[in-house]
Chain A
Amino acid sequence: MSLDSQNLAYAITQIAHNFGAVTVVGGAAVALVWREAAVQRKLAWMVLAGWLIQAVSGATFGAISYYFYAKFPDIHSIALVALKVKIVCAALGFFLAAWQLKAQPSEVLRRYVWMALCGLGVLALSSAAILRWFS
């Protein structure tokens, strides 16, 4: 496989990862402003999908590296912490969005959940920047 196909694989994965990031933060932020229950339910599905895309595309980055070089990315210290933070954010974000859809909590509780989801999104994006520039 050529270098171009490798770059293409990374780029396609990056596109999915970027749109997943926009969805988890943007969806939660919009839900904090737009409080209509029906709209928030649709946003919850979007955010759930966004976190799933984040997790799958994140894992795909590692898989592409392994496919082309038989090695995973070599990261340590602060970058490793940032990766773990991202994984925890994705797990919590997915769980919270799924719980919100299943439990259908009160408006007050729902607002707290959206705040948490928004915070998780911001934290994950911030960690992504650290992961990108440190190793």
Chain B
Amino acid sequence: MRAWLRQHRQALALALRKIAAQRSAALLNALVIGVALALPAGGYALLANLVAVAERIAYEPQLSLYLRPQAPRAEALALGARLKSDRRVREARFVPREAALAKLRATESLAEVLAALGENPLPDAYVIHAGGSDPGALNALAAELRALPGVAHVQVDSGWARRFAALAAVARIGIGLLATLLAVGLIAVTFNTIRLQILTQRAEIEVSRLIGATDAFIRRPLYYLGIVQGLAGGILALAILWGCLEALDVGVRALAATYGSEFGLSYLRPADALAVVSFSSLLGWLGAYLSVSKYLREIDLK
């Protein structure tokens, strides 16, 4: 176990020394990885912010319930009592037909039309705010209310929320595709770095083989090189993302202030930041693994 640890420490130290020997090249590589990863990570962060905003300001699923026209007022009030006793209903606001008509009359272009009708064509109505935001439960509640006596029509106003959810899903797929494409690119970057490293170290690798180095000994530092490069890229990506979000935040806060809101962009959650760094390290390892497998075999065949 101690020997194993020492071997790994040794390999890591060797990889770090190689990086230190080629600082500028290593920095450029890390920068490429960082910028490439910052794109999907940034997209994800912005989307997470947007979803948070949408949930906070708008997602109040609402039902409009219309009674039969000319239904007696007592029936309407009984229905109101029934609604208020339902636990799924957070709030049920009664809109008497007179009030609805008055509101319509206030609209100039409609006033004449309404006057021509003579009689109030509008039914009594309830505007209902449901407790939860689950579309399924909302639809079930609507169906139940539709079956109540005296109810003519129930309308679920969750269209906007559904559309937003669909849009967010599309954005998520887009970000996923972008991340996948860039991940392939990052594997290629590491693959090439390790290939160059193997070519540079060719003499050392050949001699080491001849005098008793195991494959694991030769491969290990190269793996660490890939991992460290990926890790550095991931950390740079987080830094770039942080800088960009800070810059954007100034504008977003100013915009939110005009709406009387104190909303500001929030950074990636710690778990997400950790995922970015682990993911980039994993990609670094994978690129190194593929490169080492290919080029060490080539040296072998010579």
- The answer to whether A and B belong to the same complex is no
Name A's B-contacting residues (CB within 8 A).
Answer: none
